[in-house]
Chain A
Amino acid sequence: MTPSVVPEAVSRQPWMMLVPLFGLVVLGAAVLYSAAGGHLQPYAFSHVLRFLIFLVMAIVISRLSRNFFRMAAYPVYGGIVALLVLVELIGAVGGGSQRWLNLGFMTLQPSELMKPAIVLVLARFYETLPPPMTASLRGLVPAGVLIAIPAVLVILQPDLGTALAICFGGAVTMFLAGLPLWWFVSAGTAALIAAPIAFFTLLHDYQRNRVMTFLDPESDPLGTGYHITQSKIAIGSGGIFGKGFGNGTQSHLQYLPEAHTDFVFATMAEEWGFLGGLFVLFVFAVILTWGMNVARQAPDRFSSLLAAGMAATIFFYVAINLMMVMGLAPVVGIPLPFMSHGGTSMLTNMICVGIMMAVNRWNQRPSSFS
């Protein structure tokens, strides 16, 4: 061991992922600063502050031992399911749908926490499942129930986007756990058949509308299609180099809805152009590639499933959000990780990052006592 000026606690952090991530958060803060009309308040300052707080949290998470994760998996899952039920009950009593709990100092959206939790619990489940049973119903049914409980609760809220995210995270974990491929193929086929039926029976009117508008946004340019149309205008009018920092008209003149949350990418693209968009995609590629590498290098089944599931969860956010703002997916309320203004999404994504960092740490010390 050669002595180094950099303390070991600092040097062992995964800087090749963290530095681009800082870049992305700073860009996000700049965009939020501009969206607030050139002010740090109310978005940019709290954005950076939250990131720093949650970064500390992520580092703390990364210090936790593997056994702690193993032990905590089911209690955490159970706790969050309980919170989801509680939210449902409060909503029913209060006479309306509710997605969050008011904790006094912050509002907590339990469905968000479920996104990493479902991955955690499934990773734990498949670790304990004897390998020969992976391809049996014993490997499918309990996992399916674990996914279905929170998914149904969240759909009832109703929050289709989060429910899909939970299902996606769970499904990817199951896929990586080695379940037979033809199950996924037939499930996919069944979904293709069921989707149109569900579309006309299960979805709420506003959800149906969003899908219809996605298919033909110009049909209702001032109604539901307005979001997509304005978002495309913002991205398209930015060009290669953008209109320049602080010069976005779509966001500043309020043509772009939710310019600081769900459509923050459009706000960014208008001012920073195609190059800004490529930078964002590049950072996400770095983070996700790093995450998948961490998963591949993980010493055991639990760790690899955990890291890969976290990467998939972040990926789902990014993919759906970007497809939505570019008019490739219907409008679902999913924010863009690390750029959208919002505490809960930052919390969830930093939990994912923290867990990936934890797995990364376990990788570096395969012989540790944990």
Chain B
Amino acid sequence: MTDYAIEFDKVTKRFGDNLLFENFDLKIKQNEIVSIIGSSGSGKSTLLRILMTLETIDAGMVRVQGESLWHMQKNGAWQPANERHLHRMRGQLGMVFQHFNLFPHMTVLRNITEAPMHVLGQSKETARAQALELLRLVGLEDKADAFPSELSGGQKQRVGIARALAMKPSILLLDEITSALDPELVDEVLEVIRKLAAEDAFTMILVTHEMYFAREISDRVCFFDAGKVVEEGPPEQIFNQPEHERTRAFLSSFLSV
């Protein structure tokens, strides 16, 4: 296993004429928990979406578990990854979305078993047993047969986490997973993440606005601004003694809200 679960190496990403990342570098160690904070439009979510292959890159290289994500080598030359390569690489990654993106027409159980059965080739029994175990982990074992519309936001997001975990990723991408929730439902979701963090079995990247949670759970916090990591370090440093003016401004705007 390589030292780094994720490496961004001089990555450039454009949206039309808009240059978001230019020569962007970031390395994340195995089983490291990294929180990414910053104002909207700073590229936080795009970083996760590039990793989940939902957004392409324009230049540079992204490596996941030491292997290039968006490129593959053929006869010694690099070329854009084909669908098969992407499919294989995605096996390392799991993502939880801000708006859950559960499949509304499927039961909670089927939401969780769908991919393990049809992608990993698990038998129905195996997938079901694993799903029930994951539902226990997120505290929803009694909701297996419910439909997403019958769940609260917090419950939906816990199903979202269980669904991502069912694919046994080594890297978990959490994209503002509590931003769409009522404040009183945030904790039940964060509690699940706390449990996962304690297992120390995943590399986790959290894009979040929950500053207290980021501080509590992260090994490292990165402050993003305009597609750059302006400042990074252990949470105590970022939250107690931010060095950069913009970090201070961002954090103070947050604490005053």
Whether A and B are associated in the same complex: the answer reads no
Residues on A facing B (Cβ under 8 Å) = none
